[in-house]
Structure 1
Amino acid sequence: MERTTSRTVLITGASRGIGERTALRFAESGARLVVVARGRAALEDVADRCRIAGAPDVLVLPADIGDPDAVRGVFDAALDRFGHLDVVVQNASVAAFGRFTDIPAHVFDAVLRVNVLGAASVCREALQHFRERGRGSLVVVGSLLGHAAVPLMSPYVMSKFAVTALVRILRQETRADRDITMHGIWPGAVDTAIYPLSANYSGRLARVLPLNDPPDKMARAIVDISSRRSRDRQVGLANRPMLLGYRLLPWAFDVMVRPMMGVLSFTRDRLDPTPGNVEAPTDVPAVARGHAPR
């Protein structure tokens, strides 16, 4: 892998899944890292592994991106330590499963606060720094579900459609900034802990769809795209077939997607309602928090 020792990379949602694998990929290339997530313990573990993988310096910054003051503090601390940032990867997000009317309003709002307002805060701080410096690469991790709507995940889907719009708008607004690049990565189903850790009001335990990809596939795409000109990239086994159906046969897609989600996205295990990790970090899956299958 090409060494990028001079690059300094900030990654949100770096404690697990796509963010964790992205941090390790950048570490292997020799980048200096700023890893951000809400829980310190998991971040410290990732930081230790990044140092072993080749990162010469790793700054651990626990923060909730849904708090704009916390985001500002993250960037201030990162710039105080390293002087500049070359790449910012906005990856952090949360999810909630269940029918729209069954998800409590405070949980619904919290998903939007993190996924939309939090993403906007990270992008704002990143672009302000890149413009002051004259260059930089911003990579925003959205979702296939920001391009094709499905039921039983309404706050997550709404938030990812908003993120898709945000990336498009920011690319339009940075076209005149020659050395600032704006990227959107749109993963399909990825085998991460988001399913058991998310809020769930569906009555069933959530699971990853059968056609899924490992988080390292997304990490490779993020590292690769960060050094290219501005672009979008759909990454996932099911992305193109799903988008074709959603766009070309919308009536058929809407008829089939509800029963398909019910069968493919949830196990047969019963699950009590749980707010999961939406409002506070947790490393304990729903089934181990007293919401065991019955």
Structure 2
Amino acid sequence: MGRAGESRVAVVTGASSGLGRATAYGLAERGWQVALAARREAELERTAAGCRERGGQALVVPTDVTHEDAVMHLAEAALSTWGRIDAWINNAGVTLFAPLEGGSLADHRQVIETNLHGALHGARAVVPVFRRQGRGTLINIGSVLSKIGHAFVPSYVISKFALHGLSEALRVELAECPDIHVCTVFPYAIDTPHFQVAANDLGRHVNAMPPVQSPAQVAGVVVDLVEHPRRQRFVPRIAELGLVIHRVFPRTMERLLYRALGKFHLGAPEPPVEGNLFRPTGEHAAVRGHRPPRLGTPAFLAWTARELLRIELDAARHRLHKWHVTRTTR
């Protein structure tokens, strides 16, 4: 990353809570200077104080990543303060829980503006800096939903699939720059305030679906990638198993996900909320969201195995019935 004796500088968006705050803390513990970006200045100041307590330096830059000029200002602020940027973590994101026809079109667009265009703005701001320096690491925080679809978060899935595409495109564009790295993290559910502050037009409480990771676990992976870049990391690694099942048995996996919605994801009725789509909320600024999963990881995996077997047996019975009907009607 930085040359010997040089301080290392990182920019973290979405640093006011959750994974962004945990990542900033992890970098500070390793002596990084961290530029902190989010919409809530007061919460950024709290993150900055935590970074300083952990031995790092911090710069607070209130930023709405949906505005490219604000993101350009963020990069300029980091450069004018420390003279370099070694790593940039595109972490800012929002969610709308709603069926495709739920919410307004403006709501869905805002998810894409934040999660995708915000990351695009970050890449456009920092890649020229990396080119001038001859080195640097860009990390995009994707999701397992960058690789596989899920119900009731269509705009979120769109944004995360496209974010994965952005990483892939940039790797090709930077193929002749061996010291410039583009990494993508694909986490499963994380215990952050994400679920409390998300917009929700489902009329149902939404729970994190196990296996749920702590922010510190995922932040540890991000910090490790900053210092030892790789193309991609799944958190937890077992999430890759779900992708293998989806590739081999896509219809089975889709039915499994649908069944899991009612079992784990959707809770009691609750009124629609706007959440933090268009303006930050004044609540839930901690690292963790304190929403324990409704089922532990081992039990969840056991349920998954049972349901996969049931789905395949149902499909086999259906095929056998169709074969029998075809035979008897000839």
TM-score exceeds 0.5:
yes
Counterpart for residue 11 of structure 2: 10
Counterpart for residue 58 of structure 2: 58
Counterpart for residue 186 of structure 1: 186
What CA distance in whole angstroms lies between the structure 2 residues aligned with 1:34 and 1:213? 25
What CA distance in whole angstroms lies between the structure 2 residues aligned with 1:277 and 1:111? 10
| Residue 227 of structure 1, CA deviation | 2.0
Q: Name the amino acid aligned to 2:8.
A: R
Q: Name the amino acid aligned to 1:73.
A: H
What CA distance in whole angstroms lies between the structure 2 residues aligned with 1:261 and 1:174? 40
Radius of gyration: which is bigger? 2
Alignment of 1:221-240 (within 5 A): 221-236=221-236, 238-240=238-240
Alignment of 1:121-140 (within 5 A): 121-140=121-140
What CA distance in whole angstroms lies between the structure 2 residues aligned with 1:283 and 1:219? 24
Q: Name the amino acid aligned to 1:190.
A: I
Q: 1:23 to 1:112 in 2, by over 3 A?
A: same
What's the TM-score, normalizing by structure 1? 0.92
Q: Name the amino acid aligned to 2:43.
A: A
| Residue 120 of structure 1, CA deviation | 0.4
1:183 is paired with a residue whose SS is strand
| Residue 96 of structure 1, CA deviation | 0.6
List per-residue Cα deviations over 1:13-42 (Å, max 9, x = no partner).
Answer: 111111111100100011111011110111
1:226 is paired with a residue whose SS is helix
Counterpart for residue 288 of structure 1: none
2:140 is paired with a residue whose SS is strand
Q: Name the amino acid aligned to 1:219.
A: A
List per-residue Cα deviations over 1:81-134 (Å, max 9, x = no partner).
Answer: 111111111111111101110121111000000111111010111111100111
Counterpart for residue 274 of structure 1: 273
What CA distance in whole angstroms lies between the structure 2 residues aligned with 1:194 and 1:283? 13
Identity %: 32
What CA distance in whole angstroms lies between the structure 1 residues aligned with 2:237 and 2:18? 18
| Residue 5 of structure 1, CA deviation | 6.5
Counterpart for residue 106 of structure 2: 106
Alignment of 1:74-85 (within 5 A): 74-85=74-85
Question: Quick check: 203-212 or 18-27, which moved more?
Answer: 203-212
Question: Quick check: 227-236 or 138-147, which moved more?
Answer: 227-236
What CA distance in whole angstroms lies between the structure 1 residues aligned with 2:166 and 2:259? 31
Alignment of 1:1-294 (within 5 A): 6-55=7-56, 57-236=57-236, 238-268=238-268, 270-284=269-283
What CA distance in whole angstroms lies between the structure 1 residues aligned with 2:198 and 2:148? 20
What CA distance in whole angstroms lies between the structure 2 residues aligned with 1:21 and 1:5? 24
Q: Is the 8 A contact 1:5 1:30 kept in 2?
A: no
What CA distance in whole angstroms lies between the structure 1 residues aligned with 2:240 and 2:183? 19
Q: Name the amino acid aligned to 1:248.
A: V
What CA distance in whole angstroms lies between the structure 1 residues aligned with 2:166 and 2:276? 24
What CA distance in whole angstroms lies between the structure 2 residues aligned with 1:84 and 1:210? 39
Q: Name the amino acid aligned to 2:128.
A: Q
| Residue 10 of structure 1, CA deviation | 0.6
| Residue 164 of structure 1, CA deviation | 0.7
What CA distance in whole angstroms lies between the structure 2 residues aligned with 1:262 and 1:201? 16
2:227 is paired with a residue whose SS is coil
| Residue 229 of structure 1, CA deviation | 4.0
- After superposition, the CA RMSD in angstroms is 1.5
Q: Is the 8 A contact 1:5 1:32 kept in 2?
A: no
Q: Name the amino acid aligned to 1:159.
A: S
| Residue 240 of structure 1, CA deviation | 2.1
Structure 2: where are the runs of 5+ without partners?
285-330
Matched pairs, number:
281
| Residue 265 of structure 1, CA deviation | 1.4
What CA distance in whole angstroms lies between the structure 1 residues aligned with 2:60 and 2:88? 15
| Residue 172 of structure 1, CA deviation | 1.2
Q: 1:101 to 1:176 in 2, by over 3 A?
A: same
Q: Is the 8 A contact 1:134 1:180 kept in 2?
A: yes
What CA distance in whole angstroms lies between the structure 1 residues aligned with 2:12 and 2:5? 16
What CA distance in whole angstroms lies between the structure 2 residues aligned with 1:39 and 1:5? 30
| Residue 208 of structure 1, CA deviation | 1.1
Question: Quick check: 203-212 or 162-171, which moved more?
Answer: 203-212
What CA distance in whole angstroms lies between the structure 1 residues aligned with 2:262 and 2:7? 48
Q: Name the amino acid aligned to 1:90.
A: N
1:88 is paired with a residue whose SS is strand
Higher helix share: 2
Q: Name the amino acid aligned to 1:280.
A: R
